[in-house]
Amino acid sequence: MSDPVVSADVMSLAGELGAERSKPDWSTFSLAINDDQREIRDWAHTFAADVIRPAAAEWDEREQTPWPIIQEAAKVGIYGLDMNINLFVDPTGLLMPLVHEELFWGDAGIAMSLKGTGLASSAIFSNGTPEQWSQWMGRCYGTPDDVRVAAFCSSEPGAGSDVSAIRTRAVFDERTSEWVINGQKAWATNGGIADIHVVVATVDPSLGTKGQAAFVVPKSEVRGLEQGTKLRKHGLRASHTADVFFDNVRIPAENVLGGKEKLDARIARAHEARAAAGTAASGAGASGSAGRNASMATFEMTRHIVGAQAIGIARAAYEVALDYAKTREQFGRPIIDNQGIAFKLADMAMEIDAARLLVWRAANMSAALMRGETPDYRHGEGSMAKLKAGEVAVKVTEEAIQILGGNGYTREYPVERMHRDAKIYTIFEGTSEIQRLVIARAISGMRIR
Ligand SMILES: Cc1cc2nc3c(=O)[nH]c(=O)nc-3n(C[C@H](O)[C@H](O)[C@H](O)COP(=O)(O)OP(=O)(O)OC[C@H]3O[C@@H](n4cnc5c(N)ncnc54)[C@H](O)[C@@H]3O)c2cc1C
């Protein structure tokens, strides 16, 4: 029996603290989504269920860009710059991952054809001037009657994880006031079928990544841009991936993102900092670390979006496996009746939720700018989200195949496709090893290699 006096004290203490903590500053943490977010998420889900998913197997087999679906998405407003802006300006940051999860739940290959353009338009947004936003971002998507896709070309045969190894050169021709681009890009999503190609090239090779810049190359207005081999892939087969060659491609001076003046100033500063590093090691160390933090923040701000895509695939496979386990009977009872299967499903559900929480945390941090705050990344939170979600997608889709047994291994059921699609999430947008490197450096403050 409890002591009535102590009970009364506890009640009054709880009341006092409760009143204090219901003030606005105390109640900002919330995982609830609001009505607008729910409505947009459900709209994306309906499109994924009605349009994307029924077409998934066909476009996976065809290994072609699903133009009719992109067109349909553009007509209803799922594809296009307006939609991306709509997702981006959410001050909670959650709309972007909510919608990505739904579309990739529908099918990852088709959804990548809808979302691959975002890589190029985001690069224009993060690196370009407001004039460049107006000039190029809409052109990445075209119009509902004339849809376009765009490509972001950074990787090269010799420069994947190591972006400092980029060899594609951009040389400024003072005579004509044009940039001349030469080089080969690899694995470019939408490479060659896009009109707008955003190309990362080196302007001053002596400076490594600090000597690089991004350029807008509109294929329809230049000569010398050729698509190389279209790659035949393990998964994401409805999304086009190809090498792209640049042979003396000439573009106007103003096509460098951020503007030439700013680029020249940045390169001059990098040379000065390098010269100063020889004489004032400690000062150079400080500025180097500031540079690293800025670039970490840029990548951290988008990584969770890729994580949300992986969660969409994992959730789709988990749902198929759960349904199957409830209906498939062996030994006279549903296979979910065995702990060996039920516990797998319990782990799958838990891992998906854990990954989503990391994605939502990173999403909320990335939206700090929308709230007039500075994103405060400390432990590679964006990398944690992408790493966890990618690895969960691979594991969950593999377990889904196991639960479906022989059926899971065939193309009669979707989980083998989902497993193939999931694997890329430990490779692109920074491999799992590179994400661990980012996190290890962030937590240690050391230049772990
Ligand atoms: C379907 C698909 C779509 C893509 N889309 C695009 C795109 O649109 N634009 C674009 O620019 N690129 C794109 N890529 C390229 C992608 O980003 C690269 O494949 C990725 O960055 C890895 O580079 P890599 O393949 O050269 O592997 P590598 O860098 O050669 O890595 C090979 C292995 O070594 C490991 N490794 C490398 N360095 C380290 C290290 N320091 N420590 C520990 N391990 C390390 C890696 O983790 C990996 O396991 C795409 C790739 C694919 C497959």
Report how far Cα 295 is from the mean position of its chain's Cα atoms. 16
* Mean pLDDT on 318-346: 98
Q: What rounded mean pLDDT belongs to the chain? A: 93
Residue 263 has pLDDT above 70, yes or no: yes
pLDDT at position 51 is: 98
pLDDT at position 300 is: 80
Band (pLDDT 50/70/90 cuts) for residue 17 is confident
Does ligand 1 have an atom closer than 6 angstroms to the CB of 402?
A: no
pLDDT at position 119 is: 93
Task: Name, in order, each residue with C-beta under 8 angstroms of 142's C-beta and a sequence gap of 6 or more.
Answer: 74, 148, 195
φ and ψ at residue 192, rounded to 5 degrees: 90, -30
Cα 205 to ligand 1 centroid, rounded to whole Å:
21
Tell me: the pLDDT tens digits for 126-179?
999 999 999 999 999 999 999 999 999 999 999 999 999 999 999 999 999 999
Residue 329 has pLDDT above 50, yes or no: yes
Tell me: the pLDDT tens digits for 275-304?
888 765 443 333 344 344 444 566 788 899
In this structure, the residue with its CA closest to atom 50 of ligand 1 is: 187
Write down the catalytic residue from 72, 351, 399, 429: 429
pLDDT at position 23 is: 76
Cα 427 to ligand 1 centroid, rounded to whole Å:
6
* Mean pLDDT on 98-102: 98
Strand partners, 143: 146
pLDDT at position 83 is: 95
Give the position, in ligand 1's atom list, of the atom nearest the Cα of 162: 29
Cα 65 to ligand 1 centroid, rounded to whole Å:
22
Ligand 1 pocket: which of 187, 237, 437, 438 to mutate (most atoms <8 Å of CB)? 187
Angle at 185 between CA 182 and CA 190, to 5 degrees: 120
* Mean pLDDT on 184-199: 98
Which of 49-58, 80-89, 276-285 shows the lowest per-residue confidence on average (mean pLDDT)?
A: 276-285
Round to whole Å and give the CA distance between 237 and 139: 25
C-beta separation of 164 from 209 below 8 A: yes
Does ligand 1 have an atom closer than 6 angstroms to the CB of 113?
A: no
pLDDT at position 256 is: 98
Does ligand 1 have an atom closer than 6 angstroms to the CB of 428?
A: yes
How many CB atoms lie under 10 A from the CB of residue 162? 11
Give the position, in ligand 1's atom list, of the atom nearest the Cα of 432: 47
pLDDT at position 59 is: 98
Does ligand 1 have an atom closer than 6 angstroms to the CB of 433?
A: yes
φ and ψ at residue 334, rounded to 5 degrees: -60, 145
Does ligand 1 have an atom closer than 6 angstroms to the CB of 431?
A: yes
Tell me: the pLDDT tens digits for 18-34?
888 777 777 677 889 99
Tell me: the pLDDT tens digits for 361-413?
999 999 988 888 888 888 999 999 999 999 999 999 999 999 999 999 999 99
Does ligand 1 have an atom closer than 6 angstroms to the CB of 415?
A: no
pLDDT at position 296 is: 54
Round to whole Å and give the CA distance between 112 and 237: 10
pLDDT at position 282 is: 42
pLDDT at position 6 is: 60
C-beta separation of 45 from 102 below 8 A: yes
pLDDT at position 388 is: 98
Cα 51 to ligand 1 centroid, rounded to whole Å:
31
| Catalytic site includes residue 61 | no
pLDDT at position 22 is: 77
Residue 102 has pLDDT above 80, yes or no: yes
pLDDT at position 370 is: 84
Burial class (CB in 10 A: 0-12, 13-18, 19+), 400: buried
C-beta separation of 348 from 321 below 8 A: yes
Does ligand 1 have an atom closer than 6 angstroms to the CB of 241?
A: yes
Give first-to-last CA distance, the chain, whole Å.
Answer: 61
Round to whole Å and give the CA distance between 383 and 296: 10
